[in-house]
């Protein structure tokens, strides 16, 4: 059991947050895209896309780390969540893996703070309530066993997503 003092929920533009790392809801090619991914790439500048091209991609459920370039955050952790196919294609485990692997990268790189968007809930179609519960449960379990990151921010795009994450935190 983890107290919620290490997890917070905000409604904000993730590209403006003062954290050690922001998580990019990335595609497997780590290419600039739409939604959160596009916003992060635009705010970071062209150096991020160049660095991502040299990384060589990332499988679904995994994560990779790059520098933050033009962002306030020192790093971007690119997490590839699953496309929703109805729940029978291992989507829950892949989404949990994207969160867990992002946290492992943060811990292993000595990062004290990390901000997550609601991975896979945009164009990938993952049901928002289900995704929030998986995200919070996965983060809480990781924090219970690790000192870093010290602070996890769920950065939500809109009141509905923020409410779902706040509700999920009350159940951990």
Q: Which residues contact residue 152 at a Cβ distance below 8 angstroms, ignoring those fewer than 6 apart?
A: 6, 7, 8, 103, 113, 114, 115, 116, 139, 143
Q: What is the pLDDT of residues 91-147, one digit of tens each?
A: 999 999 999 999 999 999 999 999 999 999 999 999 999 999 999 999 999 999 999
Mean pLDDT of 3-25: 93
* Segments making up each domain of the chain, as ranges: 4-169
Residues 37 and 23: beta-carbon distance below 8 Å: no
DSSP 8-state code for residue 83 = P
Domain 4-169 fold: 3.40.220
Q: CA 84, 88, 90: angle at the middle one, nearest 5? A: 75
0.75 surpassed by pTM: yes
């Amino acid at each position: 059991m983890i107290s919620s003092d290490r997890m917070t929920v905000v409604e904000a533009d993730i590209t403006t947050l003062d954290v050690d790392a922001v998580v990019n809801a990335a595609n497997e090619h780590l290419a600039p895209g739409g939604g959160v991914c596009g916003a992060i790439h635009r705010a970071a500048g062209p150096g991020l896309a160049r660095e991502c091209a040299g990384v060589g991609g990332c499988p679904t459920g995994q994560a990779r780390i790059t520098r933050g370039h033009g962002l306030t955050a020192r790093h971007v952790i690119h997490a590839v969540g699953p496309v929703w196919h109805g729940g029978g294609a291992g989507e829950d485990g892949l989404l949990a893996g994207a969160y867990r692997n992002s946290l492992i990268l943060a811990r292993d790189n000595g990062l004290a703070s990390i901000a997550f968007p609601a991975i896979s809930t945009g164009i990938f179609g993952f049901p928002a309530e289900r995704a929030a519960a998986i995200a919070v449960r996965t983060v809480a379990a990781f924090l219970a066993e690790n000192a870093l990151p010290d602070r996890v921010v769920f950065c939500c795009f809109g009141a509905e997503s923020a409410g779902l994450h706040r509700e999920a935190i009350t159940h951990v």
